[in-house]
Amino acid sequence: MTNLVQQQTEELQNEHSPDIAVSQASSHRDLSVSFRTLEPTEDVDALVVEADWYDLFQRDETAGISLHPQSIHLDALANVENGEPAVIIGECHCDDELVALVALLPRQKSLQEAGGLLLPVKLNGFVLAGQQVLGQYANARATLLCATIEWICENHYDFLIIEDVEEKSTDHQNLLEFRQGPYQLFSPGGFENRHRTFFGGTPNTYWQKFSKNSRKSLRKRVKKIGNVKLEAITTADQVPDFLQKCHEISKQSWQSQHFGLRIKNNEQEQRRLTFLAEVGALRSFLLYREGKPIAFEIAHQYRGIAIGEESAYLRELAEFSPGQVAQVLAFESLIESNTPTLYDFGSGDSEYKRFFGNDISQMTEIWIMPRGVIRSSCINYIRFCRFANRMARRVLTRLGLMNKLRQWRRRTGH
Q: Specify the pTM.
A: 0.85
pLDDT attached to residue 44: 55
Do 54 and 105 have their domain in common? yes
Instruction: Give per-residue pLDDT as tens, 104-119.
Output: 999 999 988 888 887 8
Please state the domain count of the chain.
2
Instruction: Give per-residue pLDDT as tens, 235-282.
Output: 999 999 999 999 999 999 988 877 888 899 999 999 999 999 999 999
- In terms of Cα–Cα distance, which of 275, 325, 280, 328 is closest to 302? 280
Whole domain around residue 104: which residue ranges? 2-191+363-408
Do 23 and 158 have their domain in common? yes
Provide the percentage of residues in the chain whose pLDDT is more than 90.
64
- Angle CA 309–312–318, to nearest 5: 150
Residue 347 lies in a domain: no
Do 256 and 210 have their domain in common? yes
Instruction: Give per-residue pLDDT as tens, 322-380.
Output: 999 999 999 999 999 999 999 999 988 888 999 999 999 999 999 999 998 888 888 88
Do 134 and 166 have their domain in common? yes
Residue 25 lies in a domain: yes
| Domain CATH for 154 | 3.40.630.30
Do 226 and 139 have their domain in common? no
Do 156 and 272 have their domain in common? no
Do 181 and 250 have their domain in common? no
Do 322 and 384 have their domain in common? no
Task: Name the domain boundary from 340, 371, 398.
Answer: 340
DSSP string for 240-277: HHHHHHHHHHHHTSHHHHHH--S----HHHHHHHHHHH
In contact, 364 and 167? CB cutoff 8 Å:
yes
pLDDT attached to residue 42: 64
Do 290 and 315 have their domain in common? yes
CA distance 312 to 371: 41
Whether the predicted pLDDT of 189 surpasses 90: no
Task: Name the domain boundary from 292, 325, 340.
Answer: 340
- Residues in Cβ contact with 144 at an 8 Å cutoff, skipping those fewer than 6 apart: 33, 90, 91, 92, 100, 101, 102, 133, 135
In contact, 157 and 147? CB cutoff 8 Å:
no
Residue 34 lies in a domain: yes
Torsion of CA 277, 303, 250, 350, to 10 degrees: 170
pLDDT band at 2 (very low <50, low <70, confident <90, very high): very low
Q: Which H helix or E strand runs over 122?
A: strand 122-128
